Amino acid sequence: MSALLEKAALRPKPTLKRQRKARRATSLFAHGEPLVWLTGGALALSVSMIVGLLGLVIYQGGSTFWPIDVVRVDRTSAGPLMGEVAVDETYRPESSAFAALAADAATRARADVDARGGVERRRMLRTGNYDLTGTHFNWVSDFEIGSETRPDWALVVERTSWGRFYGVPCAFLVDGETRANDPAEIWKLYDEQHGPARERFSKRYRLEQHDMARENRTLDDARLALRAVEIAHGKNSPEFATADREFSATQARLQERFVAIGNEIQSLNAENARFKLELETADGARAKLDVAEIVRAYPANQLTWSQKVGVYFSRWGEFLTDVPREANSEGGVFPAIFGTVVMTLVMSILVVPFGVLAALYLREYAKPGLLVSTVRIAVNNLAGVPSIVFGVFGLGFFCYILGSSIDGLLFAERLPNPTFGKGGLLWAALTLALLTLPVVIVATEEALAAVPGSMREGSYACGATKWQTIQRIVLPRALPGIMTGMILAIARGAGEVAPLMLVGAVKLAHDLALDTQLPFLHPERSFMHLGFHIYDLGFQSQNSEAAKPMVYTTTLLLIGIIVVLNVAAIGVRTRLRRRFLANQF
């Protein structure tokens, strides 16, 4: 529209004959072209900021699982290195950087670098083998390199502990005897044995983590029951004596179970200890790795494209379904995904009914006036209160006051160890419910307001009561709007971290909040959260360089979840709008 008008304004007017010179309709300066460009530049800048940010996360998060070649670098002045290139950059070497080289090599290198304007390329190799070398990464500048190769049989080995191992296979051992020496044969044997060994390994893991833990919990419960009797009746009462006898019986029975499980674990370990893969590192050291401890191994430089895709997706699979290992910097984030989902679900179960009730009250029942508009301002205001303030409230009120009272009433036998009197899933969900309440109230109110008054009046005219009208006419039409509010609340809740740091998110939670143990949902447990996982890995990790890929993928996952939720909300909103448009006529 405006463009058209502008065109009209610029078109030369039919000149009158009297007027010799055509007066320009508008001065060029009036168009303010430079300022328009500045405003456009601001828009372009913000668009490129977000596109760049998303692009960075998608690129880094998407590419980190892709298997890359293993490079072997023979340095002129130090031992050889072998590993994957993690960073590739240029820098300006100081003169001390050449000190390690031999004198003539140093002069040559310096001359080379100077010829390139003092800039040199350097790469950071992920060389792994932390148990042998004590480092995960090594920098290597191009001038140090004597020769660079990609060995055919360089294996990338991901282990359950100590991080990655890079080496060339030199033997496959069964019961200490060498079964194969040739890399191809070793690889074949490894392939055969790895599956069964891993199965035994995970069986052992299950025994340790589930069966053993279950028995431990039974023992704990028995101990707590005994303590409860002690609190109720005193230590010298007959009740206590009976309970004590029962406890001893349980303890004895469990002891047997412990021994049985222990034996089973021992035999699995013994079987697994038979198979070892011997690898030679770049500098000639040899290491025997338990086959069972190897999560994944592949000869990186021989992989075909389809095998690479296989490794890529197998890593994603592990990432999404497995538990973290190596201080969260390897393995998966399943507990964090699970924690986020369960916490968000509990939160929405809490927030939606109350939000809808409040909105119904404000819009349908309360008499409009000063009070209602004050409340509305307060609700809008609440939406702007910093999330950390909610966290402070959650910690102070839910955990310390409500939780401690619950502990005192119901879990006295566990004191002084808090049950509810600390951060936990329920308190986190409640805190976030308060945080997202304004979102739901505002969205629901808008949806309720959008239901045409004529429909309500029609309903009343037919003799329906207020509640019948709300129930059958208003709510169904407002449902998409309420859904939008809920999805937006979930998106906000899923991405919020600051309050969770105070009310229950932890670095590592062994027990999921939802499991097969009665009563299935354990609202008092601490939980892992994707957002907190990012904070913890990216900010507090000991080995932040090794954790980087993991943070990017977790970030990608979190952003993915939130974008999907937002897109869903936008989708619902457009459908809602369309429906109303259709109803206007």
Partner 1 sequence: MTSTSFTGRPRRRLTRRSVRISERVARVLISIGGLGTILAVTGILVFLVWVVVPLFSSAQFEAGSRADVAALATDSQDRRPLAIGIDEYQLVGWALRADGRLTSFRVDTGESLEDRELVAGSQLTASSFSVEGDAVSLGFADGTFRQGRLGFSTEFVSGEEHPELVAKLAGGPLARDGNTLVQLTPEGQLRVQRLAVEFDAPLATGGASRVVRIDHSTRGSSGYVCALDADGRLFVEEVERRQNLLTGEVTSTASQHQLPYAHDPARGAPAFLALGGGGDVVYLAWRDGLCQRYDARDLADVRLAEEVDLAEGSAELTALAFLIGKSTLITGDSEGRVRGWFTTKPAGATTSDGSTLVLAHELGDGGAAVSALSASSRNRVVAVGRVDGRFEVYHVTSGDRLAAARTPDESALSGIAIAPKEDGLVTLGGVHAAHWRMDLRHPEAGLTALFSPVWYEGYEKPEHVWQSSSGTDDFEPKLGLVPLIFGTLKATLYSMLFAVPIALAAAVYTSEFLSPRLRAPLKSLTEMMASLPSVVLGFLAAIVIAPFAQDVVPMLLASVVTIPGALLLGAYVWQLLPAHYAVRFSGKTRFAAIFFALPCGALAAAIVGPLLERLLFAGDFLAWLDGQSGSRFGGWVLLGLPAAGALVLFAMSRFVNPAVRRISASWSRARCARFDLAKFAAAVVATGAVACAIAFVLDGLWIDPRGSVLDTYVQRNALIVGFVMGFAVIPIVYTLAEDALSSVPSHLRLAALGAGATPWQTAVRVVIPTAMSGLFSAVMIGLGRAVGETMIVLMATGNTPVMSWNMFNGFRTLSANIAVELPEAAQNSTHYRTLFLAALCLFAMTFVFNTIAEVIRQRFRKRAYQL
The footprint of partner 1 on residues 48-87 (CB under 8 A) is 48-51, 53, 56-57
SS3 content of the chain, % helix, strand, coil (to 5): 65, 15, 25
State which residue, 119 or 273, has the beta carbon closest to partner 1.
119
Residue list 22-41, contact with partner 1 (CB under 8 A): 23-41
Q: Which one among 232, 385, 410, 449 touches partner 1, defined by CB under 8 A? A: 385
Q: Which amino acid, residue 415?
A: L
Task: Phi first, then psi: give them for residue 452, nearest 5 degrees.
Answer: -60, 140
CA pair distance 551, 565, nearest whole angstrom: 21
Task: Give the residue carrying structure tokens 């109230």.
Answer: 441
379 lies in the site for partner 1, by CB under 8 A: yes
What's the min distance (Å) between Cβ of 216 and partner 1?
27
CA 386 to chain centre: 22
Task: Mark 520-558 as b/e (b = at least 16 C-beta within 10 Å).
Answer: eebbbbbbbbbbbbbbbbbeebebeebbbbbbbbbbbbb
Which of the ranges 224-232, 288-296, 327-335, 383-391 carries the binding residues for partner 1, by CB under 8 A?
383-391
Determine, following the binding rule CB under 8 A, whether residue 166 of this chain makes contact with partner 1: no
Q: How far is the CB of 328 from partner 1 (least distance, A)?
A: 14
Tokens of 555: 């970030």
Q: Which residues contact 4 (CB under 8 A, 6 or more apart)?
A: none
Nearer to partner 1, 345 or 498 (CB): 498
Of the listed pieces 19-27, 99-107, 234-242, 316-324, which binds partner 1 according to CB under 8 A? 19-27
- Total residues contacting partner 1 by CB under 8 A comes to 109
Candidates 387, 459, 484, 526: give the one binding partner 1 (CB under 8 A): 387
Asked whether the beta carbons of 383 and 438 are under 8 A apart, the reply is yes
Task: Lay out the site mask for partner 1 across 516-535 (x = CB under 8 A, - = otherwise).
Answer: ---------------xx-xx
Q: Which of 42, 119, 273, 449 binds partner 1 (CB under 8 A)?
A: 42
Residue 476 CA to residue 489 CA, distance in Å, equals 20
Binding mask 418-457 for partner 1 (x = CB under 8 A): ----------------x--x---x----------------
Question: Does residue 349 interact with partner 1 by CB under 8 A?
Answer: no
Based on the shown chain and the rule CB under 8 A, indicate whether residue 367 belongs to the binding site for partner 1. no
| Min dist. Cβ of residue 44 to partner 1 (A) | 5
Burial zone of 336 (CB within 10 Å; 0-12 exposed, 13-18 middle, 19+ buried): buried
Which residue, 482 or 491, has its beta carbon nearer to partner 1? 491
Please list the residues that pair with 358 across neighbouring strands.
Answer: none
Question: Does 355 interact with partner 1 (rule: CB under 8 A)?
Answer: yes
Please select the residue that binds partner 1; options are 21, 284, 369, 581, rule is CB under 8 A.
Answer: 21
In this structure, the number of other CB atoms found within 10 A of the CB of residue 136 comes to 21
Sign of CA dihedral 442, 446, 448, 449: positive
What residues between 481 and 520 interact with partner 1 by CB under 8 A? 488, 491-492, 494-498, 501-502
Tell which one of 570, 575, 578, 579 touches partner 1 (CB under 8 A). Answer: 570
Cβ closer to partner 1: 90 or 181?
90
Closest to partner 1 by CB, 81 vs 547, is 547
Greatest CA separation for the chain: 124
Provide the mask over 540-559, with x wherever binding to partner 1 is found by CB under 8 A and - wherever it is not.
Answer: ----x---x--x---x--xx
Write out 365-392 in H/E/C secondary structure.
HCCCCHHHHHHHHHHHHHHCCCHHHHHH
